[in-house]
Amino acid sequence: MNSMKLATAEAWKGERMYWDLASEDDRQLHLSRYQLARELYQPNWDCLDAACGSGYGAAFLAEKVRSVVGVDVNQNAIDHANARYGKSNLTFQCADLQRELPFSDESFDAITSFETLEHLGKQEEMLNEFHRVLKRNGVLVISTPDRNVSERIGLDNHFHVAELSKRGFVELLSRSFSVDKLFGHVDGSPVPSHWRAVHQLLKLGTRLDFLNMRSRIERAFAGPFGWLRSHFCHMSATPIQRVTDLDNATFVYVIAVARRGD
């Protein structure tokens, strides 16, 4: 199966964005976080994009910095990224962020990792590995949904293992890093009850692994899901804004800029 067919088969899940299949709103929503990171990065830096997905963000960073390595646990995503974006200063490889990363200590000047923490049970282990492979005073730009906002507006994502509140996110980061700045991104409104029911049915479908049902469902819904997903939550693509109040649940996503200080 070629890279675009793999992308189409996976895009309906909503957890990896494939640039050529995404709407313009989705593109801008996701790329804006990489734009924030790129403004902070220097041309002579070596960077890691952890949970790089389909590779579009790593490719965007590679236009400015000396080198970028993108890692993701999904081999299909890595195959697509290598085929679509690979070049001399940009490489992609499979890696599990809940295990030891295949890099030496202090390998990178900066790390990006967007909407990753909530997918992992071993969140602190991932951050410890980021600390290990990041150079002293290196920069981490990382984001996650605010659990308090998700609960308020009715977001229910079965791919998420453990969402954090804004305060919990900062407290977790502070065990390994010095948090310099905090930003909020995207306003959300509650999900209508009838679309919640549709979402529940789709969630049930993804768990049907017997008789190869899951792969059949993925192929069948690859196109329609992109349309359906827009009804699960209305996202307002507001500009990324600086935030200081840890307990004010306003933005769907929280973005932290942190440094390895020791």
95-113 pLDDT, tens digit each: 999 999 999 999 999 999 9
Q: What is the pLDDT of residue 246?
A: 86
User: Which portions of the chain are predicted below pLDDT 70?
Assistant: 1-19, 21-25, 151-160, 188-237
Handedness of CA 256, 52, 187, 194 (dihedral sign): negative
Q: What is the CATH number of the domain that holds 10?
A: 3.40.50.150
The Cα–Cα gap between 229 and 211 comes to 26
Sheet holding 241-242, edge to edge: 90-94, 67-72, 46-50, 108-114, 134-145, 253-259, 178-185, 241-242
Q: What is the pLDDT of residue 140?
A: 98
Q: What is the pLDDT of residue 57?
A: 94
Please spell the DSSP secondary structure of the chain, one letter per residue. Answer: --HHHHHHHHHTTSSS--GGGS-HHHHHHHHHHHHHHHHH--TT-EEEEET-TTSHHHHHHHTTSSEEEEEES-HHHHHHHHHHH-BTTEEEEE--TTS--SS-TT-EEEEEEES-GGG-S-HHHHHHHHHHHEEEEEEEEEEEEBHHHHHHHT---TT-S--B-HHHHHHHHTTTSEEEEEEEE-EEEPPPHHHHHHHHHHHHHHT--GGGHHHHHHHHHTTHHHHHHTTT-EEE-PPPEE---TT----SEEEEEEE---
Q: What is the pLDDT of residue 153?
A: 65
Q: How many domains are there within the chain?
A: 1
Q: What is the pLDDT of residue 72?
A: 94
Span 202-246, pLDDT tens digits: 555 555 545 555 545 545 554 444 444 444 444 555 788 898 888
The range of the structural domain enclosing residue 26 comes to: 3-259
